[in-house]
Structure formats: C-alpha cells, structure tokens
C-alpha cells in the first residue's frame, strides 16, 4: 500500500444517494472507488481478488450488514482497514464493530465530506505504520536467524564450526540412543600442515584449508551427514546410522578425492601432494557410553594412522552394546 492518495477503496452502502455522495467525495480526493449496494456483494468483490486498500461500509445493509462483513473478512485473515458509516442511533453498534476489527467509524451527517477524508487518512497512516512495524520485526527476525546461522559456520572455510559440532553431536547421540542405531565419527588431520605453512606461507595455508574443507564436504551426500572444522588443520565428520565399515569406506573416499586434487606439498614426507590421516570410531550407543568415549576412540584411531605412516585410515573397533 502506498501513502499516496491513489488508493483503491471499496464502498459498501445500500442507500443510493449516500453511496453516490461518498463516491463523489472520494473521487474528488483522488481515490479509486468501487461501490457495492450490500455487504454480501462487497464480500464477493473482496473474495474475487480485488486488492482494496480500504473499505468504507455502512452498518445497516440488506443481505449482510457491516458488522457481519467485518466478521467475515477478519475470520478469513483479511487485514484490510475498515471505516464504518453509522447514523446517530447506531453508535453502540459501531463501537461493537470496532471491537470486532473495524479501524474507525464516522457519523453520517452534514460534515461527512470532512470527517470521511480525515478518518481515511488517519486509518491509512496508522495501518501503514503497522505494516512498517511488522516489516521491521520480520527483518530483524531474518537478521537474527542469519546471525545464528553464521555463528555455526567457520569463518575461513565456510563449513560448520566446532560450536555446531558440539551441539549437533549431542543431538545425534541422543537420537542414536533412542533409535538404538549406529553413529560413526571420522577425525581428519592434514598431514604435515605446519610444514606446509612454513613452505608456502599462511595465506596459502588458508587456501589449502578451504580446498580440503570443500573436498571433504563434497564427499558426503546424505543430508544427515556433515563435516565441521574441529580446530586448526583438523576436521570431523558425523555420520548417523553408519556402520564402522561404511564409515571406513567413506573416509577412504575422502582421502582418494583429496589426492585427486593434487594440491602440491613439497614439505610432505609421504606424497608430493596434500594428504590426510583419518581416524574412525563407531557406536551403537549403550546407555553407559558417552560422547567423549566416541571422540576419544576416533582420536586414538587417528593417532594410529599417524604413527603407522600417515596418509591412511585407521578404525577403532565398535564398543559392545551392553
């Protein structure tokens, strides 16, 4: 709705003379006007998809009176402002209309040419302020949601961060407990990354982290799986409903996919390109187990991969279900 006066107004009034007078007043003030002789016909015009900016309605009309018209449009969730026209003897009914969703009422008397325009302008202004407030609240909510989303992303790589991992692993652990389903964890470390930084510089190191993060993330295809930056040059993948064998296969696929990137690494002792060491753990969680144990087992497996020569995947055997 614009604040200009070329607004579209629906007039519902059964008295021909009064309706013509109101129409003339509104047109002379640059409003677009559509008229109706009763409330039922007015409701049909509204439901036909006409985009009215305001409704001016008499209270006492055949087929459907003004109060019934208001009740019908408000019941349907239509928020068009409504100004009620009333005679001196209908003020109590007009007040009832205000309680049911009308925005204002005016008395049909010799001053109607002034009071009608004043009422419309005030109602429109109030309505526009209401819409603006709603817009601002919705915009604030969207920005807060975006800030919340960003708070769970790693600023360098754009993938989920440690905070997201800490929160989500707990949710997945509880789900695994409820469903008695497996939960696999994959810890990933870039081999000789400190040497990489020394050889190529920290800016290239950052680019390497970004490329590795992208490669790891693209290896996952289920919406329930995710890779997060665990810290420094370490990453972690959470794989719900995944067995130890399936997790090992996926971990090796991550390693192969990264090798295909052929990211040069002159400082590596195991390859001419960037490689990763990977530790895998998996539980079908018994009540006595803990998330810390799952992480500790993956970390132990990662240590084994490093100790055994790096650029490989090692698995920790699943904990037995009690």
Contact 276, 255 (CB under 8 A): yes
Report whether 310 contacts 191 (CB < 8 A): yes
List per-residue pLDDT tens for the chain, 322 residues long.
544 547 899 999 999 999 999 999 999 999 999 999 999 999 999 998 888 999 999 988 988 988 899 999 999 888 899 999 987 666 777 788 888 899 998 888 888 888 999 999 999 899 889 889 999 999 999 999 988 888 999 999 999 999 999 999 999 999 999 998 999 999 999 999 999 999 999 999 999 999 999 999 999 999 999 999 999 999 999 999 999 999 999 999 999 999 999 999 999 999 999 999 999 999 887 767 789 999 999 999 999 999 999 999 999 965 444 3
Pick from 122, 146, 170: which residue ends a domain? 146
pTM of the full predicted structure? 0.64
CATH number at residue 258: 3.30.70.270
pLDDT value, residue 321? 43
Distance (Å, whole) CA 82 – CA 197: 69
Whole-angstrom Cα distance, residue 271 to residue 248? 21
The answer to whether residue 322 sits within a structural domain is: no
Q: Is 233 a catalytic residue?
A: yes
Q: Are residues 189 and 306 in the same domain?
A: yes
- Length of the chain counted residue by residue: 322
91 and 27 within one domain: yes
> Do 12 and 136 have their domain in common?
yes
Instruction: Give the CATH number for residue 106.
Output: 3.40.50.2300
Q: Quote the Cα angle for 48-81-114, to 5°.
A: 115
Q: Establish if 107 belongs to a structural domain.
A: yes
Residue 187 lies in a domain: yes
253 domain-assigned = yes
**Residue 46 lies inside a defined structural domain of this protein:** yes
**Exactly one of 233, 234, 260, 264 is catalytic; which is it?**
233
Q: Which helix (H) or strand (E) is 313 found in, with range?
A: strand 313-315
Instruction: Count how many domains the chain has.
Output: 2
- Structural domain including 265 reads 162-315
**Are 104 and 232 within one domain?**
no
185 with 309, same domain: the answer is: yes
């Amino acid at each position: 709705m614009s604040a200009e006066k070329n607004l579209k107004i629906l007039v519902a009034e059964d008295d021909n003379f009064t309706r013509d007078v109101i129409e003339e007043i509104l047109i002379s003030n640059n409003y677009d006007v559509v008229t109706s002789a009763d409330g039922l016909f007015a409701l049909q015009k509204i439901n036909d998809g006409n985009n009215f900016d305001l409704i001016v309605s008499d209270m006492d009309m055949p087929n459907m009176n003004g109060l019934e018209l208001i009740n019908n449009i408000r019941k349907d969730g239509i928020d068009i402002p409504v100004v009620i026209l009333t005679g001196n003897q209908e003020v109590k009914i007009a007040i009832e209309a205000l309680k049911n969703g009308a925005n204002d009422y005016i008395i049909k008397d010799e001053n109607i040419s002034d009071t009608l325009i004043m009422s419309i302008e005030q109602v429109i202004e109030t309505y526009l302020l209401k819409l603006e407030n709603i817009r601002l609240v919705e915009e604030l909510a969207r920005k807060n949601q975006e800030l919340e989303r960003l708070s769970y992303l790693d600023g360098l790589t754009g993938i989920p961060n440690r905070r997201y991992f800490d929160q989500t692993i707990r949710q997945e652990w509880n789900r695994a407990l409820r469903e008695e389903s497996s939960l696999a964890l994959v810890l990933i470390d870039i081999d000789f990354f400190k040497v990489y930084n020394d050889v190529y510089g920290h800016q290239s190191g950052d680019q390497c982290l970004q490329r590795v993060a992208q490669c790891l993330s693209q290896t996952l295809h289920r919406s329930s799986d995710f890779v997060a930056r665990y810290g420094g040059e370490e990453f972690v993948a959470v794989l719900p409903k995944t067995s130890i064998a399936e997790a090992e296969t996926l971990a090796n696929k991550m390693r192969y996919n990264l090798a295909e990137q052929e990211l040069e690494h002159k400082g590596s002792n195991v390859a001419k390109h960037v490689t990763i060491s990977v530790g895998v753990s998996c539980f079908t969680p018994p009540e006595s187990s803990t998330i810390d144990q799952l992480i500790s087992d993956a970390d132990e497996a990662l240590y084994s991969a490093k100790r055994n020569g790096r650029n490989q995947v090692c698995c920790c055997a699943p904990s037995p279900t009690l």
